[in-house]
Amino acid sequence: MLILRNFLPNLPSLNPILHFQFFILYSSFSQKELTNQSIAQFVYLCKKEDMDKRTKLILTAKRLFSEHGFYGTATARIAREAGVSNGILFHYFPTKDLLIKAMYFDVKDRLFDYSVGQVYKGATLKESIYTLWLAAVEFNLENANDFEFIRQFETSPFYRTETELEHRYVQLCLELIDKGIEEGQFKQIPSMLIFKSLSAQVETTVRFLKMNNMILDDVEFTHRLFEMAWDSLAK
Q: What pLDDT tens digit does each residue of the chain (235 aa) get?
A: 344 444 444 444 455 555 545 554 455 444 444 455 544 444 444 444 555 889 999 999 999 998 899 999 999 999 999 999 999 999 999 999 999 999 999 999 999 999 988 888 889 999 999 999 999 999 999 999 899 999 999 999 999 999 999 999 999 999 999 999 999 999 999 999 999 999 999 999 999 999 988 887 888 999 999 999 999 999 8
Residues of the chain with CATH 1.10.10.60: 12-94
Are 205 and 134 in contact by the 8 Å Cβ rule? The answer is no
Q: Which class in CATH covers the domain with range 95-235?
A: mainly alpha
12-94 CATH fold: Arc Repressor Mutant, subunit A (1.10.10)
- What backbone phi and psi angles, to 5 degrees, belong to 30? -80, 165
pTM: predicted TM-score of the whole model, two decimal places:
0.75
